[in-house]
Amino acid sequence: MGQPQAPEGAGTGATGVTGAAGAGTATAAPAAAGPSASRPPLRVGMVGYAFMGAAHSQGWRTAGRVFDLPLDPVLAVICGRDGDAVRTAAGRHGWAAAETDWRVLVARDDIDLVDICTPGDSHAEIALAALAAGKHVLCEKPLANTVAEAEAMTRAADAAALRGQLAMVGFNYRRVPATALARRMVAEGRLGRLRHVRVTYLQDWLVDPAAPLTWRLRKELAGSGALGDLGAHIVDLAQYLTGEHLAGVSALTETFVRQRPLPGGAAPGRPAAPGDGSTGEVTVDDAAVFTGRFPSGALASFEATRYATGRKNALRIEVNGEHGSLAFDLERLNELSYHDATEPGTHAGFRRILVTEPDHPYLDAWWPPGHGLGYEHTFVHQARDLVHAIAAGQAPEPSFADGLQVQRVLAAVEESAEKNAVYTAITP
């Protein structure tokens, strides 16, 4: 045991396990069917079971074990085309049933929410069908591969909202306690008028020119490269933290390695990539650097890349305001740096807040101070927030409209990059 908090001490004492024996009798715990049998279920059907599917599964499974929820998330059905694989995934991740056709899943009466964890090219089709079928929808980011798709999804979500269905897009990094704290501090006015926002999302898994041409490197499947994958996160985060929408951007993009080996075998359900037999063309960006302006006048800079050698998951954001600054690095996700410029300079400096105190976002339900959380807990928090929204009938954030707005920024980035980096306004 690492940290003895006072409440915990009392709690442990309350176990009374050293007391006299005798009266104890076995009790079928009401939790046998979930955290609380007295709470209505929220039956989830999830499409996709790879990396994101695993992460969402952890989120749905854990949320009700940690937080007091108004509804009990039930891992009802998982869906994927390959029957053997999806059944294995169901067993591994704890889903009660498996489907091999998302259309069947969407049509099931015993599903309340469809959670879309597939690549971006299928988001629109599944989401539209799920909304049409009366389901709530959680859709992984980016919302879609094109603005047109995202617009259609947003219209459908708006219409569904009138019927009481909710839709959310999975920008999970809003649910890191440190970023949520940062947003709270900006909203409280602690930074004053903002002057600068600089954000990077640096990874390095494409540095090796021999890395294969996966679906992520093909425009028709992935929509874009680092831009949609990493850039979407940082655009959303920058807009979330500032509470503003970008007014315009100027961008350069680059594909450093234009030919890559085809992967050993084409994935089931996907055609083999075109190519000269052994290599194929990379049709997405490897990196994007762009600058922008916020309506308030703040300048912004962005960089998304898969070629930042040695940087594994360096989503870094810094916001400078008239009265203070904040900085965050996803590689140290339990920390938030804060400079309070209203203090005398003599004792001022960037302080490292360990975002593990009970009054930090989400932390009242977790461990004692200093006992950090990990990446996967962003999905626990996402599940928690969505369950609360559904129970309350309130629109969750980020909405599909938020996802659409990010898509418009990405489109403006691509447009600017094609037009010699000229400053390109974001369509409102």
Segment 296 to 315, residues that bind a copy of itself, using CB under 8 A: 297, 299-301, 303, 305, 307-315
Q: Which is nearer to a copy of itself, 110 or 392 (CB)?
A: 110
DSSP letters for 146-162? SHHHHHHHHHHHHHHHH
Alpha helices in 203-262 (DSSP H): 219-222, 226, 232-242
Cβ closer to a copy of itself: 10 or 162? 10
Note whether 85 binds a copy of itself by CB under 8 A.
Answer: yes
Strand partners, 167: 137
Is residue 256 involved in binding a copy of itself (CB under 8 A)?
yes
35 touches a copy of itself by CB under 8 A:
yes
Burial of 97 (0-12, 13-18, 19+ CB in 10 A): middle
Binding of a copy of itself by 145 (CB under 8 A): no
Which residue, 51 or 278, is less far from a copy of itself as judged by CB? Answer: 51
Which one among 101, 220, 364, 418 touches a copy of itself, defined by CB under 8 A?
101
Question: Is residue 420 a contact point for a copy of itself (CB under 8 A)?
Answer: yes
User: Which one of 144, 168, 230, 410 is in contact with a copy of itself (CB under 8 A)?
Assistant: 230
| Residue 269 and residue 316 in contact, taking contact as beta carbons nearer than 8 Å | no
Q: Which of 189, 205, 364, 394 binds a copy of itself (CB under 8 A)?
A: 205
Among 325, 382, 405, 407, binds a copy of itself (CB under 8 A): 325
Of 147, 161, 395, 421, the residue at the interface with a copy of itself (CB under 8 A) is 421
162 binds a copy of itself (CB under 8 A): no
Pairing of strands 299-305, 194-202: parallel
Continuous segment of H or E residues that includes residue 65 = helix 51-66
Q: Report yes or no: 302 and 238 within 8 Å, Cβ to Cβ.
A: yes
Q: For residues 47 and 156, which CB has a smaller minimum distance to a copy of itself in the complex?
A: 47
| Binding flag, residue 154, a copy of itself (CB under 8 A) | no
The verdict on 212 binding a copy of itself (CB under 8 A) reads yes
Regarding 94 and contact with a copy of itself (CB under 8 A), the answer is yes
Given 73, 74, 102, 227, the residue binding a copy of itself (CB under 8 A): 102
Q: Smallest distance from the beta carbon of 60 to a copy of itself, in angstroms?
A: 11
List, in order, residues 6 or more apart from 366 with CB less than 8 Å away: 66, 356, 373, 377
Cis peptide before 142 (omega within 30 of 0): yes
Determine contact, residues 262/256, Cβ cutoff 8 Å: no
Paired sense of beta strands 136-140 and 167-170, if any: parallel
165 binds a copy of itself (CB under 8 A): no
Of 171, 260, 253, nearest to 211 (Cα)?
260
Is 52 an interacting residue with respect to a copy of itself (CB under 8 A)?
yes
* Alpha carbon distance 330, 328 (integer Å): 7
∠ CA 389-394-396, nearest 5°, is 60
User: Look-up: residue for tokens 């063309």?
Assistant: 281
**Residue closer to a copy of itself (CB basis): 155 or 196:** 196
Q: How far is the CB of 104 from a copy of itself (least distance, A)?
A: 4
Give long-range contacts, CB 8 A cutoff, 24+ apart: 125-131: 126/47, 126/102, 127/153, 127/156, 127/157, 127/167, 128/152, 128/153, 128/156, 129/102, 129/103, 130/106, 131/156, 131/157, 131/159, 131/160, 131/165, 131/167
Which residue, 330 or 390, has its beta carbon nearer to a copy of itself? 330
Residue numbers 339-378 binding a copy of itself by CB under 8 A: 339-341, 345-354, 356-357, 359-360, 367-377
Residue from the set 290, 328, 362, 400 that interacts with a copy of itself by CB under 8 A: 290
> Which of 109/276 has CB closer to a copy of itself?
109
Window 397-416: contact mask with a copy of itself (x via CB under 8 A): -------------------x
CB 82 within 8 A of CB 268: yes
Which of 155, 161, 215, 259 is the binder for a copy of itself (CB under 8 A)?
215
**Which amino acid, residue 26?**
A
Number of residues near a copy of itself (by CB under 8 A): 181
* Angle at 404 (CA atoms; ends 318, 165), nearest 5 degrees: 115
> By C-beta, is 249 or 404 nearer to a copy of itself?
249
Tokens of 360: 């930090």
271 contributes a contact to a copy of itself by CB under 8 A: no
324 in contact with a copy of itself (CB under 8 A): yes
